[in-house]
Chain A
Amino acid sequence: MLFNSFGYLLFLPLVFFLYWAIKPEKFRMQNILLVAASYFFYGSWDWRFLFLLIFSTAINYFAGLRIWESDSQSKKKVWLVSGIVVNLGFLGFFKYYNFFIESFADLLNVFGINSGLWTLKIILPVGISFYTFHGLSYILDIYNRRIEPTRNVIDYSLFVCFFPLLVAGPVERATHLLPQLKKPRTFLSSNVTDGLKQILWGLFKKMVVADNCAVVVDQIFDNYSVLPANTLLLGAILGLIQIYCDFSGYSDIALGSARLLGIELLQNFNYPLFASSVSDYWKRNHISMTTWFMDYIYYPLTDRGNSLRYWNACIIITFILSGLWHGANWTFIVWGGIHGLMLVVSINSSRRRRKFEKKYNLTDNGFYRFARIVKTFMIVAFVGILFRGKNLTEAVSYMSNIFSASLFSPSIGEFNTGKKSVLIAIVLSAIMFLVEWNERREEKRREEKRREEKRREEYYTIRYPCKKKWQRYSMYYAIILAIILYAGKGQQFVYFQF
């Protein structure tokens, strides 16, 4: 069941009504309902993989209890390692088996050895990367005494399978989500309206912007060898916008759906397309995954060394692993590696950059700040070609084709869907940029005000850049109209494949 499907349009209100029909004091009953709904939601893809999800849940639940209850450190370690091996074993088999076998066979072929190794026809269970990470963070947090294990199996099952985040995140932490599941949730009308607003914006980004960009980007990537350089550059730019709108749209729908049920999920995106540097980009993009890798891979790695060079290497390793997490393909590994390398450069040059900015009084210069945003966007879009390419050869060839004289050609290449489809994608992207640019500015102002008033941080939500009520309502209706009349051909969410 996709978030942008007719099925979800029926499923979500039904769950919402049944959920709030149960009194908040009986929150355990609400949890049981949510687990049942989540299993139904997951089973609607392929019911066979429900068993894998339940098995993974059971393993981590018991491993968590055993780690906590074991009296010796060595026993704790054994349970932790067993939990990690089982989790990564499943992930490795379903997601990486064929990749490693094929890569190994290719390596043997280089030495003239015909390995005859077997690949298997394996279907990747939807969301396996996400729920495996939920389970891993749970047992690691228990081992590190950050949390106590939950003894209620329903609470834990819900933490793993909660339908808004089950398939493509955000990658939740037990420390954040579990406490919410262990206490009553109160019905707030502000939660419902904010949730609906966020779902609406998520649908707009996914169905209108991402799916219209996808039509153009797919054609450009399929025909990159014969298209002029300016069109390839456009493909890279629209490709980044597509991936962003696809995934952040999904996250918005997930956060909004959870909020309807009175549950707050982690913010996953903070306007990454307006990042001023690569390090800023990774603070804003896919935040829940980035912080997961930082907390469970980067920081434990850095504990083992003290030199700057070692820490830099840790960043690159972490990003290579994050690339591999995205998909079993060398393109993702190289993509992660390059991002790691750029991050190292960005972090190490930040002091010099600040000095430079101070010297020439650029800190508050709007044009300079805008130029940095454009520079970061273009770099990320260019490296993003690796993310979209079918293989390394194709991606590198695409990248090199951009540097040709046709980059400055006044007209773009031909499209099966006509140039109108390109224009539609550009205009819709521009609308998304305008709204989010304004939203980001408002968010900044609100943050400053919060800091002045020393109020606690509010949850993330889209508020739409209109002050007057009639303007706001006009905007809601305009977005609904755009979803009805400009929805692209229903495409699956890009991150489902991860």
Chain B
Amino acid sequence: MKNVLFRIFIFCLPVLAFIIFMEICVRTFPSMYESKKEQLVAAADSIELLILGTSSAMDGVDPSQFTPYAFNLAFAAQPLEYDILLTRKYLPELPKLKYVVITTIFSSFYNEGTRSFYYYHFFGIKQPQQSFWKEDMLQSFFAHDSEQMRYILAHSFMNRPRFELVKGWSSFHNTDYQSVMNDDKARLRADFFNGVQRNYKGGDRVFNDLDSFLDFLKSKNIMPVLVTMPYHENIRKYLDRAVARKNTERLTFLAEKYNIAFLDLYADTVFVTEDFHNFDHLNEDGGIKLATIVNNKIKEKQK
């Protein structure tokens, strides 16, 4: 038996070595979360406006267009829950914060966090019921799926990604016409969003959280601004209209309740195909346009 165990051990050594190699690659790989966090901490004393939301806001709201000093703290698939937790965590370090732009997408009220580990790992945010001991121990297996691991390994030594962020923002420079004009892709993407809403079991939890968050911001004399992000007309025709209408109604209700600005840009025709990168993400031009609109709205509200 000892002999067999020894042979198994020897056999496993290269596998263990590879796993250690993967762990090193994962833990030293550049991350958007890390880059934004560093920029946020460095600019904390100057930040007057925070932009929150999912990848739609991450790519689609240019902070440089705002009159106050703005910072884009949106991340891919970031649920409202983490918008709230991030703001609450960094609020004591942002002495000049006066505005928080809360962007929502079609599925914002029906979205649960799927990337909780990143918020724990990079920002130290952890809910009481969460445990990340497996992810802490072996990130390459438990914090990333195999597709991400392949990407990390392939780009660890060559073409390492670099995040050239300006105030937490960078965006696409083009319109992906092959994507935006493809009806099948539009339907599939819409199915995904409709599915998120259909499969959500959390009731009004996200809405209630947002309600309390707005109350909290008002109590701190911070002005919240609500924005629904634009969707290209090619996808809108497949998205559940009742859901979009309900989203607008809920945000209108909150805007009236707290007397705050609300910009419903979901189907705004000011955004043309050239402003989009794909169905639900603006490109650089779109990001500038949207930020300008929101900035004007804030100015108008202040008058």
Interface residues of A (CB under 8 A from B): 6, 20, 187, 189, 192-193, 196, 222-223, 226, 413-416, 476-477, 480-481, 484-489
Contact = CB atoms under 8 A, between A and B. Distances in A.
A223 B191 contact: yes
Given A414-B188, A416-B192, A477-B14, A192 B146 contact: no
A176 to B, nearest CB: 26
A416 B150 contact: no
Nearest to B189: A416
Given A223-B191, A226-B184, A485 B150 contact: yes
A416 B145 contact: no
B3 interface: yes
B269 interface: no
Given A189-B1, A222-B191, A414-B188, 16 more contacts: A187-B1, A189-B4, A192-B4, A196-B8, A223-B191, A226-B184, A413-B184, A414-B184, A416-B189, A476-B11, A477-B14, A484-B18, A484-B19, A484-B141, A484-B149, A489-B145
B12 to A, nearest CB: 9
A-B CB proximity, top 7 nearest: A414-B184, A189-B4, A487-B146, A414-B185, A416-B188, A192-B4, A485-B150
Interface string B6-44: 001001001100110010000000000000000000000
Given A6-B134, A223-B188, A416-B189, A481 B146 contact: no
Given A6-B134, A192-B4, A480-B15, A486 B146 contact: yes
B121 interface: no
A477 B134 contact: no
Given A414-B185, A477-B14, A485 B149 contact: yes
Nearest to B153: A485
Given A189-B4, A477-B15, A488 B184 contact: no
Interface size class of B (residues with CB under 8 A): 20 to 34
B167 interface: no
Contacts of B185: 414
A2 to B, nearest CB: 15
Contacts of B19: 484
A60 B253 CA distance: 63
Contacts of B3: 189
Nearest to A413: B184
Nearest to B138: A6
Contacts of B134: 6
Nearest to A487: B146
Contacts of A187: 1
27 contacts: A6-B141, A187-B1, A189-B1, A189-B3, A189-B4, A192-B8, A226-B184, A414-B182, A414-B184, A414-B188, A416-B188, A416-B191, A416-B192, A476-B11, A477-B14, A480-B15, A481-B18, A484-B19, A484-B22, A484-B141, A484-B149, A485-B149, A486-B146, A486-B150, A487-B146, A488-B146, A489-B145
Contacts of B191: 222-223, 416
Interface centre among B3, B149, B153, B188, by most chain A C-beta atoms within 10 angstroms, is B188
A454 to B, nearest CB: 31
B146 A485 contact: yes
Contacts of B15: 477, 480
B98 interface: no
B96 interface: no
B187 interface: yes
B239 to A, nearest CB: 15
Contacts of A484: 18-19, 22, 141, 146, 149
A193 B4 CA distance: 8
A414 B185 CA distance: 6
Contacts of A480: 15
Contacts of A189: 1, 3-4
A484 B152 CA distance: 13
B131 to A, nearest CB: 13
Contact of B187 (A192, A226, A477, A485): A226
Contacts of A481: 18
B167 to A, nearest CB: 31
A416 B182 CA distance: 13
Interface string B175-193: 0000000101101110110
A466 to B, nearest CB: 15
Interface in B36-73: none
Contacts of B184: 226, 413-414
Contacts of A488: 146
Nearest to B140: A484
A417 to B, nearest CB: 9
B152 to A, nearest CB: 10
Nearest to A191: B4
Interface in B176-213: 182, 184-185, 187-189, 191-192
Contacts of A192: 4, 8
A489 B148 CA distance: 11
A465 B146 CA distance: 27
A22 to B, nearest CB: 12
B281 to A, nearest CB: 15
A489 B145 CA distance: 7
Contacts of A196: 8
Interface in B102-152: 134, 141-142, 145-146, 149-150
A428 to B, nearest CB: 12
A439 B191 CA distance: 42
A443 B153 CA distance: 38
Contact of A20 (B1, B142, B188): B1
B96 to A, nearest CB: 42
B150 to A, nearest CB: 5
A196 B15 CA distance: 15
Contacts of A416: 188-189, 191-192
